[in-house]
Amino acid sequence: MNTKIKFLGHEFKNPIIPASGCFGFGYEFADIYDINILGSISLKGTTLEGRYGNPLPRIAECQAGLINSIGLQNPGVDKVISEEIPKLSKVYDDLVIANVGGHSVYEYVETVKKFNDCDKVFAIELNISCPNIEGGGMAFGVDPDTAYNLVRKVKKVAKKPIIVKLSPNVTSIVEMAKAVEAAGADAISLINTLVGMRISLRTRKPIIAVKKGGYSGPGIFPVALRMVYEVSHAVNIPIIGMGGISNAYDVLEMMMAGASLVMVGAENLINPTACKDIIEGLNDAMEEYNIVDLNDIIGKAE
């Protein structure tokens, strides 16, 4: 069985990548299993300056998933490069994907420039779709013209491939995808979380301190699958699919919809060995459906 995938010039041993925000900076999981089995790792969302994030509480459980409003808590790009990535390099041999967020075009551009000279980073994922910060993120991710302008300016300074992470909270996901492709994006990842909320019956107030947050988990898988399918038919750049993936069969389905790689998010928070379990289950799932090479099924849902 061949699980190797070539993506933007780099060969991945398999298509499984822990999604940004659900795997920390990676090394935290090395005590649980050998993370070198992973195709790659999308690092925790990084901003130009350190961020505490949103006030507590930030997490609310719900059926078929959870809602989070972390708010891009991170130590800032300089410390990520000087401290977090070296820690990861001690336990993970392959290249990784940096995830960049921000409040302004300037922040995105300057953060991307910092990652240009980081050899451990293979590509940069622009998070223009986070529903958990005010004044940025979602503002870039819901308007095609704004997204186009951001990606175009980032591409002018980037020395690494740019992957743009799209929000499902838009009128037309295809329009957004076409806009970032036109701006020069090398690839697209989707979907980020839906916007949701929970209310405490005891206090009669929203559970999340900032009232709403990003809903993720198995409940969003059909939505993510449909959007990946639509976008794969509308653009000519590769796609990373994510949203509610919890087992090897979900991976095959997402790849048939058009994804070359697959990111696993909330499942890591429920089951710390989720990615390991999915990778170990891939060969059996492939054999069950007579799949010899994963490359043969990408975009084959017709």
- Catalytic residue numbers read 130
Q: Which long-range contacts (CB under 8 A, 24 or more apart) does 239-243 make?
A: 239/187, 239/188, 239/189, 239/190, 240/17, 240/163, 240/187, 240/188, 240/189, 240/190, 241/189, 241/190, 242/19, 242/189, 242/190, 242/191, 243/168, 243/190, 243/191, 243/216
Q: Strand pairing of 239-242 and 261-264? A: parallel
Percent helix, strand, coil in the chain (nearest 5)? 35, 20, 45
- Rounded to a whole number of angstroms, the CA Rg of the chain reads 18
Is 29 in contact with 41 (CB distance < 8 Å)? no
Residues 6+ apart with CB under 8 A from 204: none
Residues 6+ apart with CB under 8 A from 296: none
d(CA 146, CA 126): 13
Give the chain's length.
Answer: 302
